[in-house]
Amino acid sequence: MRHIHLSAYVFFFTERKENTFFVIMNYVLLSSAFLAVSAVITSYIFFVMNHDFAPSSIFKIVFVGFAAGVSCTLGLVFLFISTQPVSRHFDAKRAFIHFLLEYGLRLYGKRHKARFDVSCERPRETQEILLQTFLKGARETTYVRENNISEVCDLADLKRKHKLTDYEHYKTYVDRTAKGERNVLVSGVPERLVLTSGTTGTGKLIPIKDLQTRSGEPFILMNAIVDECFPALRRMQPKLFLFCLPSLSKSEGGIDITSLSYLPKGAEFGFVGYVHHLYPTS
């Protein structure tokens, strides 16, 4: 059985009303306009090829052909959108961008979930790969050298060379890292120190860097799971993302101390700011 902890985001799907005739015709007319432009451009290409073709015209034909393809694609996209219940908050631009985000994320999420399913079916093989990945990136660290585990070849070898430990075993190394010392538990300086929730006691600091954190993957995986479990969801409806922004502090060495779900600097001007623009609340 797989247990997935994805508590940072909550989805609400709203606006169950069907499109009005006016909304449908708006997207149909927009689709017709793009398809008509594509047809005109295509006719022009055939005219040039049959009556005024020259080697110097190849670049022009390629460029105009690309424009025809883009116009045709936009026409088909808006034709598809006209068949879906679209949010009343969307104008044509927002509907198109939402379509790209929703279906692009859906396609990528399917591949991501397929890899996730394989890792769940082959847990030991996945652990072996992760072990080698982590060791490869930490061979020059103080911890790996002092514990003689740089040449560990598999999990069985790790069990022989490294005893079972608790957090107190690592606390001295974490403290040195927090003070700014390099190459202690991770190569260089960690991106941040993640503070655990303290379910079994006080919160504990964990250095995070590189492959140990992929901030977008939980969201992509969660979206793929929702897509699989609720296939009847209306794709062109807005989603409400509830996110609790944790506080930020600094260690003695100037390293950010955050929760694992903390958004990186600038995110308010990136994803969050963009979603706010795409899904207005007023």
One DSSP character per residue, 71-119 reads HHHHHHHHHHHTTS---TT--HHHHHHHHHHHHHHHHHHHHHHHHHHHH
Which tokens sit at 134?
A: 């982590």
- Please name the helix (run of DSSP H) or strand (run of DSSP E) that holds residue 123, with its range, or none: helix 123-138
- Identify whether the C-beta of residue 194 lies closer than 8 Å to the C-beta of residue 186: no
111, with CB counted inside 10 A (0-12, 13-18, 19+), is exposed
Under DSSP, is residue 16 helix (H, G, I), strand (E, B) or coil? coil
- For 17, 92, 102, 277, the CA distances from 97, given in Å and listed in that order, are 21, 9, 8, 11
**Per-residue pLDDT for 58 more than 90?**
no
131, with CB counted inside 10 A (0-12, 13-18, 19+), is middle
The residue with tokens 């100037």 is 254
Confidence label for 242 from pLDDT (cuts 50, 70 and 90): low
User: Model confidence over 194-237: pLDDT tens digits?
Assistant: 888 777 778 889 998 864 445 567 777 888 888 888 877 777 87
What pLDDT score was predicted for residue 18? 55
- Identify whether the C-beta of residue 97 lies closer than 8 Å to the C-beta of residue 124: no
How many helices (H) and strands (E) the chain has is answered by: 9, 4
Neighbours of 282 (CB within 10 A): 3
Least confident of 4-8, 29-33, 264-268: 4-8
Q: Which amino acid is at 137?
A: G
Q: Average model confidence (pLDDT) for the chain?
A: 79
Domain borders along the chain are: 20-83, 124-211
What pLDDT score was predicted for residue 151? 86
Say what the pTM is.
0.64
**98 vs 75: CA distance, rounded Å:** 16
Range among 52-66, 179-193, 225-239, 262-276 rated most confident: 179-193
Which tokens sit at 161?
A: 């060379």
